[in-house]
Copies of this chain bind each other. A is one copy, B any other.
Amino acid sequence: MLEMTTGVHSHENAELVEQYRQAGFGGRVGWGRKPGLLVIDMAGAWTAPDNQMGSNLAGVTDAVVRLLSIFREHDLPIYFTTMAYDESRREIGRAGLAKTPHLAQMIRGTEHVVLQPELRRRPEEILIEKPRPSAFWGTNFEAQLLSDDVDTLVVTGCSTSGCVRGTVEDAFNRNMHVIVPTEAVGDRSHTAHAASLFDIDMRYADVMPMQNVIDHLQEAK
């Protein structure tokens, strides 16, 4: 059983980690020149525990708010995503509607797609309406990162096993340095969260306690 602690990997799966390391996985990609912060889908539907597709992500919100404050203080780029479609729902597409029918609720302009007010998004912090789990698919995100000269992406938000993982893999594909602070990502299923965090750390990104991220940013100041 995969379990994560704030030290990222628990004692129980130390053996599995060692097996992967010997197979040539789990290297460190480290920090690059300039980091940006991505906050994935911290919006109405996903973060309301009483919503059909929501779950309690209060701890994740707190962590994201803290990181936002530090990125703003250092004047580093910040990006938000939500999922939103046209009223006819045709933008969701055949496969989207079939596999994940809850997307039919995510209509542009409704409360389901609005960012959490606690995030206090500023006008110059870009909001990406993404049609699919990955923030890169069907969006202008990649061009935005190049425009901002960002080579390191700190990925936060929800869900770890869905949109976070998909985005992390797509950023890895492009050779970005990707960092995932454990406290700042969440999932409705603890099991799925832990399994994806393990895969992410072994294959695509450096998973680390949020304090390490904060320390790095303060030192780099």
Query: Chain A: interface residue count, which band?
Result: 35 or more
A-B contact pairs, 21 of them (CB 8 A): A16-B189, A22-B52, A23-B188, A24-B103, A26-B99, A28-B98, A29-B95, A88-B123, A90-B147, A93-B175, A94-B177, A95-B174, A95-B177, A132-B143, A134-B173, A138-B143, A146-B176, A162-B199, A169-B169, A192-B195, A196-B199
> Is A191's beta carbon under 8 Å from chain B?
yes
Contact of A175 among B30, B127, B134, B147 (CB under 8 A): B147
| B contact residues around A133 at 8 Å (CB) | 169, 173, 203
> Is A74's beta carbon under 8 Å from chain B?
no
> Is A27's beta carbon under 8 Å from chain B?
yes
Copies of this subunit: 4
A143/B173 in contact, CB under 8 A: yes
| B contact residues around A199 at 8 Å (CB) | 161-162, 192, 196
Known interface pairs A90-B124, A93-B143, A138-B173; 12 further A-B residue pairs with C-beta atoms within 8 A, sorted by A's residue number: A1-B1, A23-B53, A23-B188, A24-B53, A24-B103, A27-B98, A27-B101, A29-B94, A30-B98, A138-B139, A146-B175, A192-B195
